[in-house]
Each structure stands twice: as C-alpha cells, then as structure tokens.
Amino acid sequence: MLRGEWRIVVGLVALTLCVGCGKTKQPWEKVAPVRGAVKYKGKPLAGALITLIPVDTAVPSAVRPTATSKDDGTFQLGTYSGADGAPAGEYKALVLHYPIVGKKESPSAGPNDLPVKYAKAETTDLKVTIAGGQAEIDPLELQ
C-alpha cells in the first residue's frame, strides 16, 4: 500500500469511529439513582412490583423504571439495568402484589391482591415526579 493510500484508510477509519461522537443524550437516556417506599393501608408492602409510566408520550415505551419492594417496603428504581435509577420526569405509578400460594414444595404466585385501580395507567391515582438528580421520592400510599 502506498503512503498516501495508507493515510486515507486511517482517516476513514477514524471518521467511522467518530460518527455519533458528541451526540446529545435524550432526557430519558439520563438516569439518576432514585429510591422510595410503598405502603398499603399504612403498612410497608413487601414484594410489590412498581412500574412508572411516563406521562410524556414522546418518551419511548421501553423507558419504564421498575422495582420490587423489600420487606420494609423500600425500593430502588432501575430503568436500563438493575437499580441504575430513573430519568427525570412525571410518571403514573403502577403497583402490583402477587402473594405466594400453594404448598411449600411447589409454591406459585397468586393473583394480584391490591385494588385493581393500581394496576392500570388509566386508573391509578399514584403520581410521581422525579427532578433531575433527585435521590428519593415521596412514599407511594395505597388505600
């Protein structure tokens, strides 16, 4: 390969690697750690599945911060992996709870035992606002 051709190849490779460099992230691509708590009738709710549905319809459907509450009702949200956090924004919160039923040798999940209104974005009255860099949200109080 000639010296001039080599420079062209190196330049093209460098250009290819830089395509997309410096691209501004969309608001929903930036997450910050967020923790919260969930209570049912004033008591901590263990094992609840929490899903936040963005109010902004421009946010892709893949952006759904989720968590499972611990024994004390606390949880840490994750959007893209584990408990990586959640993007800033306004959300409706869905909360479901499937108790363990059956024999000890072969347990399974029973039906959701929370009021059905908390299972659908159209009916839930639980709202969450996450400000940029906010570490904790107000407790989710289910009645």
Say if CB 52 and CB 95 are below 8 A apart: no
Q: How many whole angstroms separate alpha carbon 61 and alpha carbon 113?
A: 26
> Cα dihedral sign for 50, 114, 126, 37?
negative
Residue pointed to by tokens 């409706």? 92
Residue 117 exposed, middle or buried by CB count within 10 Å (0-12, 13-18, 19+): middle
What does the pLDDT profile of the chain (143 residues) look like in tens digits? 555 565 665 555 554 555 555 567 776 788 999 999 999 999 999 999 999 999 999 899 889 999 999 999 999 999 999 899 999 999 999 999 999 999 989 999 999 999 999 999 999 999 999 997 778 999 999 99
**Matching CATH number, 25-137, of 3.40.350.10, 1.10.287.3510, 2.60.40.1120, 3.40.140.10:** 2.60.40.1120
Q: How many whole angstroms separate alpha carbon 54 and alpha carbon 77?
A: 14
Query: What are the boundaries of each domain within the chain?
Result: 25-137
DSSP state of 14: H
Q: Which of 38, 23, 34 is nearest to 134 (CA)?
A: 34
